[in-house]
Structure 1
Amino acid sequence: MIKRKRFRGPQKSLPIDIIQNEILVKLPARSLLRCRCVSKLWCSIIDDPSFASSHFKKCQSNQEKNRLLVLEPPDIIESKQFCAIRNGEKFRKMSKIGLDVTWFEQYQAVSYVNGLICMKRYIKETQISNILLWNPSIRKALELPFSQFSNDAKIRHDIDCALGYDHINNDYKVVASVYIGDDPLHPLHIPRHVYIFTLSTFSWKSANTDRGPCLWIKGGPKVFVKGVIYWGGIYVLTKPSPKGRFSHFVSFDVINDVFKYIDLPDSEHVNIWEYERFPILLDQSIALLEIFESYSQIWVMEDSKGMEQSWTKRFNINLQLLERCIYFKMDGELLFTGEKGGVNSYNIRSHETKVLAKSYKLSPIFVSVYRESLTLLKGIPERASFTFPSHGTSQIE
């Protein structure tokens, strides 16, 4: 028998830059959680905020991973709600996360930024909403402190919120408008209070806002782009306006904590209702999507560099698809439900329509492009972080 010689020389480890830039940065987020247990060195690399940023940029640049995050409606009878990761080309389910729900509560996704979902947990019995930040990549969540919204937690109130990212300070902010004592299902109100939550300090502060020229649309679509969150505003005077009822965008600059009101272009139909004109993201620009009875059109807000905003009409869509629209991709592809179920796509530039899924019967309550992220891994109070209540995760591929 031939004896093999064992090498007894000094064991050399890989250089740190190779470990970080050639190995770890290419791994999925859940694998990185296990890699944190390999050594103190690996744990310190993965927990470093700069590594989290490099890892997220790597995920963004990987065009092959075209994935969608889909939050499905709750099944109250079986006490479950699913958040699925689906292929963006064929809408095929790749993995899913089961969220525990009860008869008295449900989860609503509000916005998705850099791998973080801003969610509301609505408790029907008390009609009180809590705000959560959840990272589905690492299954970690935060329940934001809530006491300052109301001196009495039993007072009926509703909260509208949105998430944004401050790229200057590498920080996340939530703007929350609080409505007290009114019908929580009514979409138009003046917020009683407005607060801003900063993740790095894990604290809220009161925001200074004026009433402005319009009411805020509570629960409508939110869009975050280039450091600014946009949502809709409603013209409330009885006198008709050339802009229609949907007259403004309300904006919040997450870097400077500044609110503004942006005039929308005149509407072709002055009696148009609020959800037929709403903000979308198109090619990294804020845009206005208008839905009429037989056609739709898209306006893009030009970069005015501090001057008054101007709008340019870019696209006319002759198909009445947008009533069933579930998501508008930044590249101009929209996903919509078919008349008999299923999910289709329509490209506003090529006018090409494709069938993505024939048998999908649910109507998603939230859809967004999915990107893996390590945010919420470290740097927040341990008592505030928890594993999202769920009944298991299944990996399809």
Structure 2
Amino acid sequence: MATSRAFSEELLREILLSLPVKSLLRFKCVCKNWGSLINNPSFTVDHLNLSKKKKPPQHLIYDYGATDDAPTVTLVSDKGIDEQNFQRFGDNITNMLGSIDGVFFIERQIDNAILCTLWNPANREVRHLPATTISFEYFICDRHLVFGLDPMTKDYKVIYYNHMEEYAAIYSCSRDSWKIFKHNLDVHQNPSTCVRNFYSSVDYLNGYYYWLIKEVTNKLSILSFDFGNEVFVEMEGPSRGHEDYNWSAELMLLGDSVGILNSVDGFVNDVWVMIQLGVWNKLLTIHLTTPVKSFYDNSFILVTKSSRLVSYNVRTNKTRLFEYRHPGLKSNPQCGGCGVYYYKESLVTIKRQGNSELHLSRCLTKVMNIY
């Protein structure tokens, strides 16, 4: 009898792991046993890993210019379009980054104040970040407010950095507070050199957030922030040995590598990849006749002339046309267009923690560090 019960629980777990988050949230209420199983930190980890491996990629389209009667968020995948009843945050969103494990960072401007929020659209959890003593003025070209994850502790963090100031601020979900620290960068850098990516995505990879540094001497370098050690790191770009090469570049991510897309002449673009720290290789030259909206894995997400999304894999040379069509795809999100974000739904919780939730979070950290 014990063997039969153990087999049934194991089979039940396998079945539940294959279900979407929306169904799991309903099934938590079926009985105490199901709720305990779905709330288990190891189940959250296994469900996320299975989603990454076996489920087709989705793209979350956020329409910054949506009217009150139009959907703000649309999910697009190989299987079609899924317009769901997501939360609306109003028309004052100025910045959206993500997703990391299904969690997004949202920046909103209310009057003269900047409000920061973490959002998991799958379980509808929202976490508003507290205020800090550093002012987050929006109309400053050299300020950067970015989102990442400490891969060792599984702690979501937000960093505010203005490289004309010698102090930065970092928010930690585990501490639920901001910490002001003196960073290790030259505060006299040219403010026009540290550029934010024009893609509506997050330049986060394996515990680091990346910026491209453009210098007036036609030289490139990379600035990164280590979310584990909470320090900035600088490294060489692909400029060395290519002094006669014209750089009109943007930072990108290709799989598990940092890359650069450089416009050479008209529609001609070179793709560079960092093969090891500070060592770069030109991967290929491609012709892009349509705007790039985002990227994931080894693919660009492009917009066709008819305002449809298409993905192009630079390593397999394969294209895939999505069903989704929207005129806002051709516009920048800051001008009321659509942002395109690679997305994997998850059960990850971002709620503020009481004593029981704090214990659950610590258990989740221990479980995730095993994987």
**1:95 and 2:68 are equivalent in the alignment:** no
Verify the 8 A CA contact 1:190 1:211 in the aligned structure 2. no
Q: What's the TM-score, normalizing by structure 2?
A: 0.78
Q: For the structure 1 residues 27 and 319, does the alpha-carbon distance in structure 2 shift closer, same or farther, using more than 3 Å as the test?
A: closer
**1:318 and 2:310 are equivalent in the alignment:** no
Verify the 8 A CA contact 1:74 1:80 in the aligned structure 2. no
1:108-147 paired onto structure 2 within 5 Å:
108-123=95-110, 125-126=111-112, 128-147=113-132
Q: Distance in 1 between matches of 2:305 and 2:284?
A: 24
Query: How far off is 1:16 after superposition?
Result: 7.8
Q: Which one of the candidate residues 215, 232, 241 is aligned to 1:259?
A: 232
**1:161 and 2:128 are equivalent in the alignment:** no
1:239-388 paired onto structure 2 within 5 Å:
240-243=216-219, 247-266=220-239, 272=247, 276-294=248-266, 295-304=268-277, 309-321=278-290, 324-331=291-298, 333-353=299-319, 355-357=321-323, 359-363=325-329, 365-376=338-349, 380=353
- What secondary structure does 1:100 align onto? coil
Query: How far off is 1:116 after superposition?
Result: 0.4
Q: For the structure 1 residues 101 and 30, does the alpha-carbon distance in structure 2 shift closer, same or farther, using more than 3 Å as the test?
A: closer
Q: For the structure 1 residues 14 and 224, does the alpha-carbon distance in structure 2 shift closer, same or farther, using more than 3 Å as the test?
A: same
Q: Distance in 2 between matches of 1:121 and 1:325?
A: 25
**What whole-Å deviation, never above 9, does each CA across 1:203-223 have from its counterpart, x for those lacking one?**
221233134355433575541
Q: Distance in 2 between matches of 1:28 and 1:367?
A: 21
CA RMSD of aligned residues (A): 3.3
Q: For the structure 1 residues 147 and 165, does the alpha-carbon distance in structure 2 shift closer, same or farther, using more than 3 Å as the test?
A: closer
Query: How far off is 1:62 after superposition?
Result: 0.9
Q: For the structure 1 residues 177 and 365, does the alpha-carbon distance in structure 2 shift closer, same or farther, using more than 3 Å as the test?
A: farther
Q: AA paired with 2:82?
A: M
Match of 1:27 in 2: 19
Q: AA paired with 2:81?
A: K
Q: For the structure 1 residues 361 and 156, does the alpha-carbon distance in structure 2 shift closer, same or farther, using more than 3 Å as the test?
A: closer
Q: Distance in 1 between matches of 2:153 and 2:328?
A: 40
**What whole-Å deviation, never above 9, does each CA across 1:121-179 have from its counterpart, x for those lacking one?**
123x32x32111100111111111114334xx9x877663222222222222221236x
Query: How far off is 1:193 after superposition?
Result: 4.2
Query: How far off is 1:371 after superposition?
Result: 0.9
Q: For the structure 1 residues 157 and 45, does the alpha-carbon distance in structure 2 shift closer, same or farther, using more than 3 Å as the test?
A: farther
Match of 1:61 in 2: 53
- What secondary structure does 2:43 align onto? helix
Identity over aligned pairs, percent: 24
Q: Distance in 2 between matches of 1:234 and 1:220?
A: 14
Q: Which one of the candidate residues 64, 71, 75 is aligned to 2:62?
A: 71
Between 336-345 and 15-24, the greater mean CA deviation after superposition: 15-24
Match of 2:171 in 1: 197
Verify the 8 A CA contact 1:110 1:161 in the aligned structure 2. no
Query: How far off is 1:25 after superposition?
Result: 2.0
Q: Distance in 1 between matches of 2:326 and 2:229?
A: 43
Q: Distance in 2 between matches of 1:365 and 1:225?
A: 23
- What secondary structure does 2:13 align onto? helix
- Unpaired segments ≥5 residues, structure 1: 1-8, 179-188, 383-397
Verify the 8 A CA contact 1:80 1:99 in the aligned structure 2. no
Verify the 8 A CA contact 1:79 1:100 in the aligned structure 2. no
- What secondary structure does 2:84 align onto? strand
Verify the 8 A CA contact 2:60 2:343 in the aligned structure 1. yes
Query: How far off is 1:231 after superposition?
Result: 1.8
Verify the 8 A CA contact 1:171 1:198 in the aligned structure 2. yes
Q: Distance in 2 between matches of 1:162 and 1:233?
A: 16
Q: Distance in 1 between matches of 2:138 and 2:328?
A: 31
Query: How far off is 1:86 after superposition?
Result: 0.5
Query: How far off is 1:381 after superposition?
Result: 5.5
Q: For the structure 1 residues 372 and 99, does the alpha-carbon distance in structure 2 shift closer, same or farther, using more than 3 Å as the test?
A: closer
- What secondary structure does 1:356 align onto? strand
